[in-house]
Amino acid sequence: MIVGLGAGSTALKALKCIAERLVEGTLSDILGVPCSEQVAADARRLAIPLTTLESHPRVDLTIDGADEVDPQLRVIKGGGGALLREKIVAQASAREIIIVDERKLSERLGVQWALPVEVISFGLRGHAAFIELLGASVQVRTGPDGCPFKTDSGNLILDCRFGPMDDPESIAGALEGRAGIVEHGLFLDLVTDLIVASPAGIRHQAR
């Protein structure tokens, strides 16, 4: 089985569970496709066997987290900066399972979280101005050192605060039509399963 290994704190918990079950022998015969260089390093440290999309372009199942989820299972991802590879793996997956706690649920996307947009550095001011015309306030993401954050692909992240989105599909379409914008953190029609943890227990919702 080919398993997509998502990025972020929630996905790391799943990574550790996979590693434990491989050691126990209750899980075997899997290969992981990591969604970031950090995830790849974590998986190697945990002795999870890895492969690539070049070798296995079809992924059976991906386990990932999300920053915000609406009732239609549309999500915002990219808080950790791995949105491009996460979306590539998600699009290659037969099942995309998102695991969140109930605090990540919103009636509309954008209530809690800015939308991450990955851009190339050339023409940065123009990219930001274009997104502002769509109605967002835009900030270049910086790292702990105060320098611009760089993705695994060497690009920049613009955190774009749209507020509650009435039409995420329209925003996604506008962003996808702009040269220099590599990818955005709106994952639409990709999530097949949502698992929500709350004090009341675990809830599973399928699309």
Q: How confident is the model at residue 132 (pLDDT cuts 50, 70, 90)?
A: very high
Q: Report the C-alpha gap between 8 and 112 in whole angstroms.
A: 17
Q: Of 20, 24, 37, 86, which is the active-site residue? A: 86
Query: Helix (H, G, I), strand (E, B), or coil: what is residue 66?
Result: coil
Closest CA to 172 of 87, 71, 112: 87
The model's pTM: 0.95
Q: Which CATH number fits domain 115-180: 3.30.70.980, 3.30.70.260, 3.40.50.1100, 1.50.10.10?
A: 3.30.70.260
Task: Summarize the confidence of residues 15-36 as an average pLDDT.
Answer: 96
The string of pLDDT tens digits covering residues 154-190 is 999 999 999 999 999 999 999 999 999 999 999 999 9
| Residues 86/39, Cβ–Cβ less than 8 Å | no
Closest CA to 35 of 12, 1, 76, 7: 7
Residue for token digits 């320098």?
Answer: 147
How much is the pLDDT for 47? 96
Ordered by start, the domain boundaries in the chain are 2-106+188-198, 115-180
86 labelled catalytic: yes
Q: Report the C-alpha gap between 139 and 76 in whole angstroms.
A: 17
CATH number of 2-106+188-198: 3.40.50.1360
Q: Report the C-alpha gap between 199 and 196 in whole angstroms.
A: 10
